[in-house]
Amino acid sequence: MRAKEPLYRKVNTRTHRVHHGNGGEYRWSRNTKREDRTNRGSMHDGHRHGLDYTPLFKFLLAHVGDDWAAVHSEAVARLDRAEPIFWMVARSEADRNRYIRVGECSYYSGLYVDDENRLARVDPDLRVEDMEPSCACCTHTLNGSPFTSVFKPFV
């Protein structure tokens, strides 16, 4: 029996001109004579670049209405860490959002676990037609479908 595919994929981070927000601040200050404790920490600073969790988000959307314990255990078994599940699934009622934004222009429906321990959408009536893009240069998507409305600049 084959193992199931992981719910994340590696993104090419070695391509020319691909920047991930990790500037050269340490490089500019490492040989100074001044004793500065801020430069003595890890160079990586907890960043985890190069992973795309789009397959996880589509997996969770496909299992709306299913038993949360089964969905959660399968997702955790196919991930490198469990934290990305809760980017989309609210842990408490205060954390519930109609949609979440991943990256610059990718939006997904917000999810939560209902009283019957089933995965549910926060706003089941949210449609791609309801969403408006924030700029004209990007392709904005909701659950993988492009927005149908066009950008309306502020006047």
For 2, the domain range is 1-12+49-155
Prediction pTM value:
0.77
- Find all residues with CB under 8 Å of 40, minimum gap 6, and list them: none
The answer to the question of residue 87 being in a domain is yes
Q: Which band of pLDDT confidence, cut at 50, 70 and 90, is reported for residue 154?
A: confident
- Structurally, the chain folds into a number of domains equal to 1
**Gyration radius (Cα) of the chain, Å:** 20
- Predicted confidence at residue 88, as pLDDT, reads 96
CA 8 from centre of chain: 11
* Structure tokens, 10: 């590696």
Q: Which band of pLDDT confidence, cut at 50, 70 and 90, is reported for residue 15?
A: low
The answer to the question of residue 109 being in a domain is yes
The answer to the question of residue 22 being in a domain is no
The answer to the question of residue 30 being in a domain is no
pLDDT digits over 113-145, tens only? 999 999 999 999 999 999 999 899 999 999 999
The answer to the question of residue 3 being in a domain is yes
pLDDT digits over 18-76, tens only? 665 555 566 666 666 665 555 555 555 566 667 899 999 999 999 999 999 999 999 99
pLDDT digits over 92-117, tens only? 999 999 999 998 899 999 999 999 99
The answer to the question of residue 28 being in a domain is no
d(CA 72, CA 53): 15
